[in-house]
Chain A
Amino acid sequence: MSEAVQLDAGHDLDLGWMDQHGPWDTKAEQSKYGLTLADIQLGEYGNPPVESDNQTGRPRGAAERPGSYRIGNYAVRTKSEIWLDNASFLYEEALQRQWSSATDIPWHTIEPLPDDIEQAQCTMDTFLTEVEFVAGDVPARWIAQTTPDFFEARNVLLCQVMDESRHMDVFRKRALANGGGLMKATGGTAGVVGSIDLSRDFTEMSSRLHISGEGAVLTIFRMGELMAYNDAEKAIYRLCAQDEARHVAFGVMHMRYMAETAPERHEEIHCYLDEAERGILAGSQNPAGQFPTTSESMAILLGGGKKHFDEGRNKLIAIRRRQLSEYIKRVRSAGFGDRFDNGRSQVPEILAEIAA
């Protein structure tokens, strides 16, 4: 290098650090998906501790330095509190499936719509702009409180914050792209007890956010084709559903891990689910629920205008049925399905009532 000056006398080097390292001779190999997080789970590097005593932010497997400063009084440092077995897979998938709301949505396919439909669309966009970043704000707070020993789970949550940011922006873009504008907010994510924001425990938060909240939204996005009026809207719902499915999978897989490894917390988890189910169709967090602003908007979109409101309402009820069926499947998959068999959950009754 031109700026490197040859010194007359060599520098003394300490080099003591060269013998202080984690397990050596580690040779990760690429798999068919490249060099994934799963491919570097080798030996001790792949073994997250059941209880983490890492207070210095040390990368898992690195050598400890006795004098290192404690930087993190991590609230989440028990593996069962946050772990899931497929975090590496979800993370890599999230990286591969990132998309751009600026360039990947065919915005030119949007044509002017009748005013009632545009108002309904913009109301839904306002609502989704409002709620999508709950799922950004809240995981971010937990990321900062989680030991890096569980970095795989933490990295999935980082992807979720990114995804939600994109959702927040794509619905704002849609609202302002077609002669409409933002409408009245629902305030549905305000700071009330029992809200996603105020959860005091990660699994409590995950049950409210991933299983209940995002699960309901995922069903709507998956059925977005029914209320899309152009290819741009279809692309938005399809791409958001893809992201949302990963977030829901995180919640289901985490809860499954919790069910398998922390039986002492089963009753507590059931209580979180009791609470989530009480608001599953009530309140304003589920747009297909009973809150008039969003449910009426959806009925207009699904029916094809105010004139076809009843037709739209029937489709909305079909969406609710599907939301509840999918919720039951997720909770069963997570290992808490007994609540539907022993009468603890009211969801089967609600489902039967809707179907009648």
Chain B
Amino acid sequence: MRRRILDIVMWSLFGVALALVVLPAIDIIVGILAQSAGSWSPELLFTPTSGVAGGLLNAWTGTLMLMALLLIMAAPIGVLGGIYLAEFGSQRLAQILRFGSETLAGVPSIIVGYVIYLVFVVKFGWSFSALAGGIALTIMVIPYIMRSTEAALRQVPTNLREGGTALGLPPSLTIRRVLLPMALPNIMTGLVVAEAIAMGETAPLIYTAGWSNSLPTAQLIHQPIGYLTYVVWTYINQPFSQAHQLAYSAAALLLVLLLLLIGLGRLISARASRFNDRFQV
């Protein structure tokens, strides 16, 4: 009887926990949508900012560009690094590198941004640019990707690896054909969370990407770039209600982009798990 009661108590507590996670999220999201409701129009999406008014075209395209740069740089580094930590590295080395990575996660984004500013923007003379911003974001989120890749691989039952070894498969093949597919959904979650965190960052970008009212171009250095979080951060500090509305619209647009990103991640995960179902032990 006591065990049943404990069971009910624990699950009720977890239910409360879930409510505590979901309610603030709903409140924040509804707040953003309500505040931005008045300003949704095609112009919002398809004209660039002008002064402290206008649309958000330059901002959302810039955010997408930064996200693409981030994906190209951070995903391979993080995933490969995670594979190494989980499958190859000697205990000692892996532990040191893991420490390094976890310490990096604790470095305030403003410090990452300022160091990138000193090195790339000023020393290398790149000026404010998409690439400098992308590098700052990459350095910030690699730990998250690496951690989730490593954790995902570590969860794969050992007997799968042993099976691979028993069949004489080289580790790289076992990793590619057996372990990565098994771990893929979790790796995707890590990638999505990393991109999401980067998408929501402001501080490191102000010093590296700068800000621009023009659309992003293929020129990765010597040209500043716009992004949605700048609008949120700066326009909310303007003395005009019109600017505030644009700030909330930028936050809402950010949510939409996030939804698309998460959806895309889910799609890829779903394909992978259909494959994994055949593996169920």
Partners in one complex: no
Chain A residues engaging chain B, CB cutoff 8 angstroms: none
Chain B residues engaging chain A, CB cutoff 8 angstroms: none
